[in-house]
């Protein structure tokens, strides 16, 4: 599709929130910060004005949302991404802040946590936006304080995923799990959660409608979790409105030839490499050496080179 035929938003803004350092170990999330850092970097490359928040307490999250909603201008494309714990109370969905020590009951959640529906309503109330994209990456069951202390899990409520939301006009949303479900498919060894890992793979594609991106993500997550986790989407974009995450910006990819050289090692390097291999044979541990010159306080360098020899 030619870029000249596409109506573009006047401005692109993204608010990315990653909460993981919750008060209780069972509720903590290891990959939230990585998700936000990686998404923030890519959004900036794609031309977005980006706000990132990692481990936000209630006050910080409330202020960030207030600032974002007050600064919406005519023709803005707004992306609100959240990775962290969520909780549903009486059919209303809430984002959980990290200062959650006092969240012992559903009434505590309703009075303290951030209402997702209200966030969407605030973002859309001026009617100025080009489009709003809401993404919630939450799949782990959140335990309230009384749930952790109870001997019987049947006596206390637990999070039930996210329900369908009433969408303002020109809004599209995707949740990492299906409606009213939490699947707890956690990949601790990966840098990112599975959902956001796949989101990162698709969002940089040029002139791909966000509706199609969400379809690709849904299919990939569903297949890669052996049909245990299926993201859900809802859409109220006008027919014919083209909403892309990448409006023709080429995102550079790191090529292997940019960081691996086929140049031969010098005699000194070959000798040292042989010593390293011999050391490993004897100790089964790698030998890492840093020159004293590198650590000297009076040393200065115009550039830095890290040379690795891999056997």
Total of domains in the chain: 2
pLDDT band of residue 261 (cuts 50, 70, 90) is low
Tell me, what's the pLDDT at 272?
78
Tell me, what's the pLDDT at 266?
77
User: Is residue 213 included in any domain, yes or no?
Assistant: yes
Q: Average pLDDT over the chain, rounded to whole?
A: 84
User: Three-class SS of residue 232?
Assistant: strand
pLDDT digits (tens, 9 = 90+) for 185-199: 556 578 999 999 999
Same domain, 288 and 231: no
| Domain encompassing residue 272 | 256-295
Burial of 33 (0-12, 13-18, 19+ CB in 10 A): middle
Same domain, 166 and 262: no
Residues near 213 by Cβ (< 8 Å), separated by ≥ 6? 199, 202, 203, 205, 245
Q: Which of 206, 235, 264 is the last residue of a domain?
A: 235
Same domain, 261 and 156: no
pLDDT digits (tens, 9 = 90+) for 77-107: 999 999 999 999 998 999 999 999 999 999 9
Average pLDDT over residues 133-140: 95
CA distance 120 to 110: 17
The pTM of the full predicted model, rounded to 2 decimals, is: 0.78
pLDDT band of residue 290 (cuts 50, 70, 90) is low
User: Is residue 215 included in any domain, yes or no?
Assistant: yes
User: Is residue 165 included in any domain, yes or no?
Assistant: yes
Same domain, 229 and 92: yes
User: Is residue 47 included in any domain, yes or no?
Assistant: yes
User: Is residue 145 included in any domain, yes or no?
Assistant: yes
Highest mean pLDDT among 117-126, 184-193, 240-249, 257-266: 117-126
CA distance 32 to 41: 14
The phi-psi region of residue 80 (left if phi > 0; otherwise alpha if psi is between -120 and 50; otherwise beta) is beta
Same domain, 229 and 290: no
Same domain, 202 and 282: no
Whether the pLDDT of residue 124 is over 80: the answer is: yes
Q: Are 97 and 54 in contact (CB under 8 A)?
A: no
Residues near 218 by Cβ (< 8 Å), separated by ≥ 6? 174, 230, 231, 232, 233
The more confident residue out of 286 and 186 is 286
CA distance 33 to 92: 26
Give the number of other Cβ atoms within 10 Å of residue 152's Cβ.
6
The more confident residue out of 266 and 106 is 106
The domain that holds 60 is classified in CATH as 3.40.50.1460
Tell me, what's the pLDDT at 304?
46
User: Is residue 245 included in any domain, yes or no?
Assistant: no
């Amino acid at each position: 599709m030619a870029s000249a035929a596409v109506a573009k938003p006047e401005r692109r803004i993204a608010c990315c929130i990653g909460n993981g350092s919750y008060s209780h170990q069972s509720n903590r999330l290891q990959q939230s910060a990585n998700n936000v850092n990686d998404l923030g970097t890519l959004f900036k490359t794609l031309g977005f004005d980006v706000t990132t928040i990692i481990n936000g307490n209630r006050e910080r999250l409330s202020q960030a949302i207030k600032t974002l909603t007050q600064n919406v201008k005519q023709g803005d494309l707004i992306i609100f991404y959240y990775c962290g714990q969520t909780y549903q109370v009486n059919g209303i969905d809430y984002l959980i802040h990290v200062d959650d020590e006092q969240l012992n009951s559903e009434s505590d959640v309703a009075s303290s946590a951030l209402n997702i529906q209200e966030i969407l309503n605030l973002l859309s109330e001026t009617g100025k936006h080009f489009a709003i994209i809401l993404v919630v990456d939450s799949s782990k069951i959140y335990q309230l304080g009384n749930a952790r202390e109870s001997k019987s899990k049947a006596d206390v409520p637990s999070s039930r995923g996210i329900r369908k939301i009433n969408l303002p006009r020109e809004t599209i949303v995707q949740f990492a799990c299906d409606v009213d479900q939490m699947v707890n498919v956690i990949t601790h060894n990966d840098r990112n959660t599975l959902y956001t890992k796949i989101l990162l793979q698709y969002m940089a594609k040029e002139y791909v409608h966000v509706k199609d991106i969400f379809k690709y993500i849904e299919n990939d997550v569903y297949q890669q979790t052996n049909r245990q986790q299926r993201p859900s989407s809802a859409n109220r974009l006008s027919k014919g409105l083209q909403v892309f995450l990448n409006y023709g910006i080429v995102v550079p990819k790191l090529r292997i030839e940019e960081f691996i050289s086929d140049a031969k090692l010098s005699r000194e390097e070959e000798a040292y490499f042989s010593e390293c291999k011999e050391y490993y044979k004897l100790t089964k541990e790698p030998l890492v050496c840093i020159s004293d010159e590198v650590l000297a306080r009076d040393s200065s360098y115009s550039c830095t080179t890290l040379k690795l020899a891999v056997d």
